[in-house]
Amino acid sequence: QVQLEESGGGSAQAGGSLRLSCAASGGTFTFYAMGWFRQPPGKERENEREFVAAISWSGNSVYVADSVQGRFTGSRDNTKNVVYLQMNNLKVNDTGVYYCAAASHHFGPTMHPFGMDYWGKGTLVTVSS
């Protein structure tokens, strides 16, 4: 059983930056590809979470959604069991709850909520104009 805990959310002005972290425990971190997803306000169901970034088991391959291309990037530190989401040039519609998730057998240019094995509880990001 893997536990995931996000941190680093908060409020930012449009054009600003935030870095989210997700600490993993309780399992072998390198067994899992990691994903970042977000849930915009008003969407409640897990399958309504939007893919943001995918980070491979080694961290050598990283994909981001078209909507955040050039602004967000993902990375991981396998020595610390932590995955990151660096968010630059934030926009108001980046607002939402951001989740990290782990997948043992799912990875690609887009990751899907139903392919993930474990989820964190999420961290809220609010971007104002």
In the predicted structure, residue 19 carries a pLDDT above the cut 90: yes
Torsion sign, CA atoms 18, 24, 30, 34: negative
In the predicted structure, residue 1 carries a pLDDT above the cut 90: no
In the predicted structure, residue 39 carries a pLDDT above the cut 90: yes
Confidence band (pLDDT; 50, 70, 90) for 42?
confident
Buried b (16+ CB within 10 A) or exposed e, 66-101: eebeeebbbebeeeebbbbbebeebeeebbbbbbbb
Q: Are strands 118-119 and 96-103 parallel, antiparallel or unpaired?
A: antiparallel
pLDDT mean over 60-81: 98
